[in-house]
Structure 1
Amino acid sequence: MFEIQNGLTFVISIALFAAKGFALVDCVARPSAKFTYIETLPKQTWLIILALAVLLHVLTWNPLSLLNLVGTVAALVYLAQVRGSDSR
């Protein structure tokens, strides 16, 4: 039973780490003017938030820890707000 739980936790952790990493790479690649155009936080602020989210995920690696959940929400907000604005 614990092998299944540990395996599931590992898969969730990898998926959340990939989402945070993807958001960080997208933020690095996106031009600063895009952030001004969609009236969101500046690029530098998003870079700091997302880099901290990835770093904290690497340090704790537990997908249900409070800091990882906050980082996941930040990455998902970035993806929905900034990257999602491309589809409008």
Structure 2
Amino acid sequence: MGSPSGPLRPRASSNFMGLRATGFPPAMTPQEKHLFSDRVNSATTRLSSTMAASETPEGYIFVVYFHKNAAADALAMLRAADIRVRGHEIQFSWH
């Protein structure tokens, strides 16, 4: 999977559930964004996902979508991974 980009929703489908990441530091660099998406991939390595990200006036928005049958497992894996960016703990919740 490449770098996250595009709209924050996959094709309309009830087969996918989104997990939103929050708690990012301000003004993240492209390298920090890339490393973050790598950490998400590593934490959920056995699960297929689609990522979407956007820079807004309120900050960086990142959502990762999993098949509905795997979404609860993915949320548990991401929370257990204790992913941080510049010391900021990133929180994951249902989108």
TM-score by length of 2: 0.29
Question: Which protein is richer in strand relative to its size?
Answer: 2
Flag the structure with more relative contact order, 1 or 2, with Cα contacts below 8 A and sequence separation at least 6: 2
Larger radius of gyration: 1
